[in-house]
Structure 1
Amino acid sequence: MKVKGKIFALLILLFLLLLAACSDDAGTNEESEGTDEETTTEETTSDEDADPFGAYEEAITIAIGQEVDPTDTSLEEGETPLNNKYVNHVKENLNINVEHAFTASPSNYDQKVSLAIASNDLPDAMIVGPVELRQMVEADQLADLTQVYEDYASPAIKEIIDSTGGVALDNVTFDGKIMAIPNSQASADGIHNMWIRKDWLDKLGLEPPTTIEELKEVARAFVEEDPDGNGEDDTIGLAGPDTSNKLYANFLESTNNLYGFDGIFSAHHAYPGYWIEGEGGDPVYGSTLPETKEALATLRDMYAEGLIDKEMGVREDSGESVISGKTGMFSGPFWMPYGPITDAVTENPEANWQSYAVPLDENGEYTPHLSTPTSSYVVVRKGYEHPEAPMKMLNNLFAHESEFDHMEGGGGPGHYPLRLVYAPADEMEVTTVAMREVLAGTKEPEDFYDMPAYKLIKNDVDTVFDAKLEPYDNMDIEHWDITSTSFTRAYSALVGTAPQVDTEVKGVPSLIYSQTESMEDRWVNLKKLEDEIFLKIIMGTEPLDSFDQFVDDWKQQGGDQITEEVAEVVN
């Protein structure tokens, strides 16, 4: 009887639910003819609530941590890091007021971030690297952005992030939750070409070098044969890293290393700072391999012979020697016109800086290391009341970056708050080919308009004739209008990226680009050990064979355990 009673109660409940549903249907049918407008309004309101580009009805405030480069040229006279065209654009388009929780120069930014984490005094949002991201996740300091990404990331940004094959989102996903907004960068950011003063080559009757030996001879000529013609012994053959940069990029910072020796290591098939496959198929740390010792020996000899900047490692800004016309060669990515080159040619319009895929290895192949598709992340403080605001700001930047890039003053949107770079892996190569085709007349600018993921390509093809002068297939500096606002971007594409377009790149990636568990406690000390001994070997204050002791120390101080952890990750 109890069972029958339960069944009877269930039948009564189902009957009541059906009756209510029928009543709702009847009401809907009776009012359907007069409620199309109301239904549409409700849907629109719902969509607006999660509009990736929608402005807030009432102004909100976001306090950010921001890197502020005092040499950045993207601000006009009278503008400040908080009162400029970029911050004002955020206010006008999104009704977001940007404030600074802290600012720091590029050399001090990481320290400021670390202090904020240690004191548990985070800004509402800031940009961090993979190490800091993991620290904040473990300290439970960050907002869960899973739903923010799903609802507010623009379709174009989602398309680009998806193009990384899951790498970008994997790097910010912890226990199934998206804890940061990742960037996605062009692969060209991780390839470090050799920038060379071609006018110095021409003056001295030299051809562009291809091998390490030829590179050394060019550096020697630049040092000894007075290429600047001032009668003084004051020129630098090859620049070296300054206090803000590294001897080479590494798996945690795999892009945009300025003035390092990445190419010389790669030409030796040495990949220090990277995790690569060893002879037995297991992962090995490139800094511990014999090829790295060979590359250090080459650099040691070059430094001893005066071919490398004598102030390497202590100079505050190697770019100053480029701008002043004292350096003949340096290593850097395609975008160096956004660095010292535009200033250098403004100071001296004959400074014909060209980019080359050198040095090549002993087989004549270009074998640079490759970067991760994502390396920077926007994080949001747990408890911030508008966690979607940073995502909206990134959408706004991506949608309008082509306008920013050509604003008066040039320089690109370096002061845009919470700026992450979003680009397909082949963005620069595709852009360079498109601009070449427009210059050659084989295609029209309109042929490249419908490519939303390539955010700058429309402006690139529309403005290329503003900066490039005839003959259009000659990239020497005398055939450019260096006063054009399009010059820096066009020169980066047509000169800076040319080596990747015209040379087969046999790049070597790192097996991982993030930390393992033991690295969190030990990597800082291991990296310091590596950096110090390698610099001393190159500068001749430690013997070359101290490399062997470094390898032993590295293994004993945690390297072997970390290697085992890397093997678990990649196998």
Structure 2
Amino acid sequence: MTTSLVAAGCEPLEKEASAEQSRVSVSMVINDLGMIFPEGLDENDNPYIHYIEEETGLDLRVSIPPQEVYEEKLNVIMASRNLPDLIHSYNPVWYDEYVKKGAIVPLDDYIDQYGPDLKKYIPEEAWERMRYNGKIYAIPSLTEVPGIELMYVRKDWLDRLGLKPPTTLDDYYEVIKAFAKNDPDRNGLHDTMGLILTENMGRTAPFFGAFGVQLNSWLERDGKLVNGSTLEGTKEALGFLAKLYREGLVDPEFPLNRNSVFIEKIENGRVGMFSAAWYDTRGPIALNKKKDPNAEWIALEYPVGPEGHSGVYDSDLIRGFNVVPAGTSHPEEVIKLLNFIAGEGRKTLKLGFENEIWSMQDGKMVTNFAEHDKHLYRGIYQALVDVVDPEIAKARLDSLGDFHLYENLQMIEQNVIRNQFYGTPTPAMSKHAGHLEELQNVFTEIVMGIVPLDEFDAFVERWYREGGAEITEEVNKWYEGRLQEGGIAAP
């Protein structure tokens, strides 16, 4: 009888153990994206990893190298005999290197058999960038946002000074001047700035867009790709910004404005206009409104330049690469896992558990901010295969409060100036990019009047002579190949 009772009591445990033993173990090396796990949880023991395991029937083993040595660790792993089933990299150079070494498994057959949602939600444009000699070697993770910057202005200052929201570059100049000179906060002090920038020419993209260019982007001109930093429009934009600086209309300390200083100046009510990140309505703008309840901020149309140009830089479509090292045992399970993250698991991993992180109230999604912030770590799994889902994106962003986040992204998407080069960094880029970036420091000196505007011409000459010509040749060789393959629509 005792034996019978023991046997009866142990049967469910034996079945559970048997189920656990039947699970296929999939090991992965991924990035933690700077996320922090709540106390008592880690990358292998938390509700979201358990959710994925239960839904896929897999036993997941997650390894997260330190951020500061992440890529170095990936190289060590690839050189070892102890290879994981899945590696996630954010570096296209790393991906390209190991594809060419034959160290990564082609995934076409596995995708066809086990990846219906991957095929459904990832566009051909992204797949094309994963191909080498006609074969797909990675599952891409997409960038959800089309770009970063758009213009925001203090509407209460506009109203106080009898000004309308600016549209043309000339209108912008007049508003910036009035904000700097006409005491828009009515405190009797000369303490307001019309426009704020950040170090390294940050938060300037819409002004370059007014001249049809973007710094460091490759733009088509007469059937060839040219680096935007070398174009005449860039010189004209620098001239416009130099005029603002010379007349005392832009923050004179902008070369020292790191992000924390930048936020502080906006929060304290010194700034009337700036190129905001799409999420700054939850950041410095919200902080300013909290400090000054009368502050009212609105988004502006991008400044339109003398030849009708406007716009801002785009975000690269690809943010990461999921690869299966050659010689591993479970490529089909890896594809099943990634297919789940992109498909059935997408909503839960993106939003969190319903009725815990968020709930539906009166037909709208409402977020529990405390729980939302505590469980942000779920993003390290979801970001493995991020896909563009406008419905989920809108619901999630709207649930965060009345910050116009979704509207901001829509405005950006309608005004991006596309970077026409999206290939792997070329050999000459690897050799010269750092030096050419240093040369570009002269732009700050031009804006500050330390050197004359014509110094731009000397910069362009040096840029081409000291590596830029070699890079441009390689970029255009890539571009011609893409045109011939039909991967790019001919201009």
- After TM superposition, the score normalised by the length of structure 1 is 0.63
Tell me: CA distance 1:128–1:516, structure 2 relative to 1, closer, same or farther (3 Å): closer
Deviation per CA, 1:180-210: give whole Å up to 9, x if none.
2223445x62263212222332334332222
Aligned to 1:57: 23
Tell me: CA distance 1:400–1:307, structure 2 relative to 1, closer, same or farther (3 Å): same
> Would you say 1:400 and 2:348 are equivalent positions?
yes
Amino acid at match of 1:293: K
Amino acid at match of 1:282: K
> Would you say 1:219 and 2:132 are equivalent positions?
no
Cα offset for 1:380?
Answer: 5.0
Aligned to 2:132: 174
Amino acid at match of 1:509: R
CA separation in 1, counterparts of 2:294 and 2:40? Answer: 31
Aligned to 1:416: 379
Out of 188, 199, 203, which is 2:156 matched to? 199
Amino acid at match of 1:102: P
Out of 362, 365, 369, which is 2:306 matched to? 362
Deviation per CA, 1:83-122: give whole Å up to 9, x if none.
7765565456456656452344xxxxxx644433565579
Deviation per CA, 1:478-526: give whole Å up to 9, x if none.
xxxxxxx4415x62124x246469xxx5754233222464334334235
3-state SS of the aligned residue for 2:153? strand
Tell me: CA distance 1:302–1:354, structure 2 relative to 1, closer, same or farther (3 Å): same
3-state SS of the aligned residue for 2:64? strand
3-state SS of the aligned residue for 2:237? helix
CA separation in 1, counterparts of 2:40 and 2:255? Answer: 34
Cα offset for 1:264?
Answer: 0.3
Cα offset for 1:323?
Answer: 4.4
Out of 90, 93, 97, which is 1:128 matched to? 90
3-state SS of the aligned residue for 1:189? coil
RMSD: 4.0
> Would you say 1:550 and 2:459 are equivalent positions?
yes
> Would you say 1:569 and 2:478 are equivalent positions?
yes
CA separation in 2, counterparts of 1:374 and 1:350? Answer: 41
3-state SS of the aligned residue for 1:263? helix
Out of 307, 322, 327, which is 2:250 matched to? 307
Aligned to 2:65: 102
CA separation in 2, counterparts of 1:205 and 1:365? Answer: 27
Tell me: CA distance 1:160–1:395, structure 2 relative to 1, closer, same or farther (3 Å): closer
3-state SS of the aligned residue for 1:183? strand
Aligned to 1:160: 121
Q: Give the conservation status (yes or no) of the 8 Å contact 2:156–2:295.
A: yes
Aligned to 2:7: none
Tell me: CA distance 1:498–1:144, structure 2 relative to 1, closer, same or farther (3 Å): closer
Tell me: CA distance 1:558–1:225, structure 2 relative to 1, closer, same or farther (3 Å): same
Q: Give the conservation status (yes or no) of the 8 Å contact 2:242–2:449.
A: yes
Amino acid at match of 1:511: Q
Deviation per CA, 1:134-182: give whole Å up to 9, x if none.
2443455545444443344352x423323xxx32112122233323222
Comparing 80-89 with 316-325, greater Cα deviation is found at 80-89
Q: Give the conservation status (yes or no) of the 8 Å contact 1:344–1:351.
A: yes
CA separation in 2, counterparts of 1:383 and 1:347? Answer: 59
Q: Give the conservation status (yes or no) of the 8 Å contact 1:90–1:96.
A: no
> Would you say 1:331 and 2:289 are equivalent positions?
no
CA separation in 1, counterparts of 2:430 and 2:187? Answer: 52
Q: Give the conservation status (yes or no) of the 8 Å contact 2:302–2:311.
A: no
3-state SS of the aligned residue for 1:276? strand
3-state SS of the aligned residue for 1:512? coil
3-state SS of the aligned residue for 1:268? coil
Out of 362, 386, 392, which is 1:455 matched to? 392
Q: Give the conservation status (yes or no) of the 8 Å contact 1:192–1:262.
A: yes
> Would you say 1:493 and 2:406 are equivalent positions?
yes
Superposed, 1:44-443 pairs within 5 Å as 57=23, 62-68=28-34, 82=43, 89-90=51-52, 93-94=55-56, 99-104=62-67, 112-117=69-74, 119=76, 125-138=87-100, 142-155=104-117, 157-162=118-123, 166-185=124-143, 189-190=146-147, 192-227=149-184, 234-242=191-199, 247=201, 260-278=203-221, 280-304=222-246, 305-308=248-251, 310-312=253-255, 314-317=257-260, 318-332=262-276, 334-337=278-281, 340-342=284-286, 344-345=288-289, 348-364=292-308, 366-379=310-323, 388=334, 389-395=337-343, 398-400=346-348, 403-404=351-352, 406=358, 407-409=367-369, 410=372, 413=376, 416-418=379-381, 419=383, 420-423=385-388, 427=390
CA separation in 2, counterparts of 1:237 and 1:384? Answer: 58
CA separation in 1, counterparts of 2:119 and 2:46? Answer: 28
Cα offset for 1:417?
Answer: 0.8
Amino acid at match of 1:525: G
Comparing 117-126 with 191-200, greater Cα deviation is found at 117-126
Cα offset for 1:274?
Answer: 2.1
Q: Give the conservation status (yes or no) of the 8 Å contact 1:87–1:98.
A: no
Deviation per CA, 1:264-301: give whole Å up to 9, x if none.
001012233222222x4333222212111111122223
Q: Give the conservation status (yes or no) of the 8 Å contact 2:152–2:276.
A: yes
Q: Give the conservation status (yes or no) of the 8 Å contact 1:81–1:415.
A: no
Q: Give the conservation status (yes or no) of the 8 Å contact 1:193–1:263.
A: yes
Comparing 370-379 with 349-358, greater Cα deviation is found at 370-379
Q: Give the conservation status (yes or no) of the 8 Å contact 2:213–2:233.
A: yes
Q: Give the conservation status (yes or no) of the 8 Å contact 1:238–1:309.
A: no
Amino acid at match of 1:67: L
> Would you say 1:513 and 2:431 are equivalent positions?
no
- After TM superposition, the score normalised by the length of structure 2 is 0.72
CA separation in 2, counterparts of 1:233 and 1:414? Answer: 45
Q: Give the conservation status (yes or no) of the 8 Å contact 2:25–2:61.
A: no
CA separation in 2, counterparts of 1:510 and 1:212? Answer: 23
Q: Give the conservation status (yes or no) of the 8 Å contact 2:147–2:409.
A: no
Q: Give the conservation status (yes or no) of the 8 Å contact 2:207–2:303.
A: yes
Aligned length: 430
Deviation per CA, 1:335-359: give whole Å up to 9, x if none.
4445544555455554433222221
CA separation in 1, counterparts of 2:256 and 2:42? Answer: 29
Larger Rg: 1
Aligned to 1:256: none
Tell me: CA distance 1:538–1:91, structure 2 relative to 1, closer, same or farther (3 Å): farther
CA separation in 1, counterparts of 2:290 and 2:60? Answer: 36
Cα offset for 1:400?
Answer: 2.5
Structure 1 residues without counterparts, runs of 5 or longer = 1-55, 105-110, 248-258, 428-453, 465-484
Tell me: CA distance 1:416–1:500, structure 2 relative to 1, closer, same or farther (3 Å): closer
CA separation in 2, counterparts of 1:202 and 1:234? Answer: 19
CA separation in 1, counterparts of 2:285 and 2:242? Answer: 28
Amino acid at match of 1:183: S
Structure 2 residues without counterparts, runs of 5 or longer = 1-21, 359-366, 481-491
CA separation in 1, counterparts of 2:270 and 2:377? Answer: 27
Which structure carries more relative contact order (alpha carbon 8 Å, separation 6+)? 2
CA separation in 2, counterparts of 1:207 and 1:328? Answer: 14
Amino acid at match of 1:327: V
